[in-house]
Amino acid sequence: MNSAAHGEDVVRSALAALAPRLRSAARTISGLQRLSGGATQEIWRFDLDTADGSQPLIMRRAPGGDRRSQVAVGLNVEAQLITAARDAGVSAPEVLHVLAPEDGLGQGFIMEFVAGETLGGRIVKAASLAGAGKTLAYSCGQILARIHSIDPGRFPSLEHQTPADLIEQWRTAYRRDSVRRPVFDLAFHELSASCPPPPLKARLVHGDFRNGNLMIGPEGVRAVLDWELAHIGDPMEDLGWLCVNSWRFGRIEKPVGGFGEYGDLYAGYEAAGGPPVNRETATWWEMFGTLRWGVMCAGSLAAFRSVDATVERAMIARRTSETEIDLLRLMAN
Amino acid sequence: MQDQPSPDEILAAIAAFLRDTVIPKSDSHTAFQARVAANAVDLVRRQLEFSTAGEAAELERLQTLLGRAGTLPELNSALAEALASGAKGLSTAGVSEHLRATTLEKLQIDQPNYSGYRNALERPRS
């Protein structure tokens, strides 16, 4: 791919041409700014200009087409998931447009810009100062119940995974990417021995619902971000992942995202129509999630030595040991 | 004999340069990367200070646990295999103590401020 041909000027003129189709009163765009992104995914912010004023928007795109990682669902499906979540009552940005080939921007979509805080460390601090942690944990439960109410049949391309499938998938990834780690081998053994049966009803699982992927304002959750790991499976997986210690940002005593208690999360979940929470299963998923994050960190070593020789990647590889101490704590309980 | 300053002193100066000079002059993306780089330099300093003693202790524990001699990678893999198969587990004498000690030795270098590490230090035998 010729990166110059997809540079900022090209993006600007393609978006300007697209403007009237985003809102009929729109004439052009301004304030284009690339926010972040790696080699395959980009995030851009811009303003859509009409006679009455301008609306801030976000474009997520894969300029070279959609080179999907092994697990990511793809940007088109992500756009559908965000729309389905909105319809189910989840706070999420409105998706205005899914990119088509004739737009000349690759694959991706354009959505409303939502302002708010996503940095986990700031969120736990602000929640603690404002005494808002209990409410936040309760509303995370409500949001997850709404996500889990979405008919999984609408997303036939998503993978369907039982707890036992996931153990095997991650054990394979561990053995492929990492030197042997006694704590991980022990954890895989213990998780296999206590593996829950497949859920009575498989649900749409967000797959990465955690502090850091939530856009928060003073009034609560404004948007649920990063749907690329969505799949069909056990809804308790999302409840467990939210409680993994790595997403508590130092507040180990607040199991739900570093801001709330298990009971608040479960109460919100059941009050909003989620299936009854089996606490033992939710705890199993917390340990599974800890191990999954550990395998992801350990896998960063191979990425660092091949395609991503950045300091940031090196330091993620060195986060593997944090999951080992968390696994030892969970196994001692 | 090599001249001074020592590697540790030079690395400390690099970390200070990143934090005090580079970060204040950088845009937010570069400042973030520079902060990560300064943290990485600190990690290397801790590893220079601690790792030799830690790995010697780890090897000794592994030899006791497995009842044979070998290199650290060999014995580490052998223990992993025994735990994967269930031949050894948390109820096997010495396993829990070894895993805890080895993990704490890593975190002392990797992330001495990590909440799970601080928590483990406060609970002497969890």
Q: Looking at the structure, tell me whether residues A251 and A124 fall in a common domain.
A: yes
Contacts across the A-B interface (CB distance below 8 Å): 98
**Could you tell me the two tokens for A81?**
């998931």
Classify B27 as helix, strand or coil.
Answer: coil
Cα–Cα dist A205/A160, whole Å:
10
The DSSP string of A272-283 is TTPPPP-HHHHH
- Residue found by looking up tokens 């208690």 in the block: A261
Cα–Cα dist A240/A275, whole Å:
15
Q: Looking at the structure, tell me whether residues A280 and A313 fall in a common domain.
A: yes
For position A73, what pLDDT does the model report? Answer: 81
Q: Of A103, A104, A84, A102, give the one whose Cα is nearest residue A94.
A: A84
Q: Looking at the structure, tell me whether residues A297 and A279 fall in a common domain.
A: yes
Cα–Cα dist A321/B104, whole Å:
9
Interface residue B47 vs chain A (CB under 8 A)? no
- Answer yes or no: do B126 and A328 touch at CB < 8 A: yes
Phi/psi at A51 (5° precision):
-60, -30
- Answer yes or no: do B107 and A329 touch at CB < 8 A: no
User: Measured between CA atoms, how close is A184 to chain B, in angstroms?
Assistant: 8
Q: Looking at the structure, tell me whether residues A108 and A155 fall in a common domain.
A: no
Q: Looking at the structure, tell me whether residues A108 and A176 fall in a common domain.
A: no
In chain A, whose CA is at the least distance from the CA of B34?
A311
A-contacting residues in B 58-117 (Cβ below 8 Å): 73, 76-77, 79-81, 83-86, 89-90, 96, 98-100, 102-104, 106-107, 110-111, 113-117
A190-245 residue pLDDT tens: 999 999 999 999 999 999 999 999 999 988 999 999 899 999 999 999 999 999 99
Number of domains present in the structure of chain B: 1
Q: In this prediction, does ipTM exceed 0.85? A: yes
pTM of the model: 0.92
The pLDDT-based confidence of B126 (bands split at 50, 70, 90) is: very low
Contacts of B70 (CB under 8 A, 6+ apart): B62, B63, B78
Phi/psi at A108 (5° precision):
155, -165
Interface residue B29 vs chain A (CB under 8 A)? yes
Last residue of a domain, one of A54, A89, A112: A112
Last residue of a domain, one of A60, A88, A112: A112
Last residue of a domain, one of A90, A112, A134: A112
Residues of chain B contacting residue A180, judged by C-beta atoms under 8 Å apart: 76-77, 80-81
For position A83, what pLDDT does the model report? Answer: 95
- Answer yes or no: do A245 and B99 touch at CB < 8 A: no
Number of domains present in the structure of chain A: 2
Contacts of A154 (CB under 8 A, 6+ apart): A80, A84
Q: Looking at the structure, tell me whether residues A230 and A175 fall in a common domain.
A: yes
The pLDDT-based confidence of A177 (bands split at 50, 70, 90) is: confident
Cα–Cα dist A82/A297, whole Å:
27
- Answer yes or no: do B76 and A182 touch at CB < 8 A: yes
Segment A299-317 mean pLDDT: 94
Q: Residue B35 belongs to what domain range? A: 7-122
Q: Looking at the structure, tell me whether residues A92 and A155 fall in a common domain.
A: no
Q: Residue A33 belongs to what domain range? A: 3-112
CATH number for position A36: 3.30.200
Q: Looking at the structure, tell me whether residues A172 and A104 fall in a common domain.
A: no
Position B52 in a domain:
yes
Q: Looking at the structure, tell me whether residues A79 and A141 fall in a common domain.
A: no
B72-125 residue pLDDT tens: 999 999 999 999 999 999 999 999 999 999 999 999 999 999 999 999 999 876
Cα–Cα dist A29/A57, whole Å:
10
Position B2 in a domain:
no
Which residues lie across from A34 on neighbouring strands? A44
Mean pLDDT score across all residues of chain A: 92
Which residues lie across from A112 on neighbouring strands? A57
Q: Looking at the structure, tell me whether residues A299 and A172 fall in a common domain.
A: yes
Residue among A180, A326, A331 minimizing CB distance to B90: A331
Per the CB < 8 A criterion, the answer to whether A46 and A29 are in contact is: yes
Position B101 in a domain:
yes
Segment B55-61 mean pLDDT: 94
CATH number for position A297: 3.90.1200.10
Whether A95 has a pLDDT exceeding 80, the answer reads yes
Cα–Cα dist A207/A147, whole Å:
11
- Higher-confidence residue of B18 and A74: namely B18
Cα–Cα dist A70/A235, whole Å:
22
Position B1 in a domain:
no
Q: Looking at the structure, tell me whether residues A79 and A130 fall in a common domain.
A: no
- Answer yes or no: do A189 and B89 touch at CB < 8 A: yes
Q: Looking at the structure, tell me whether residues A300 and A212 fall in a common domain.
A: yes
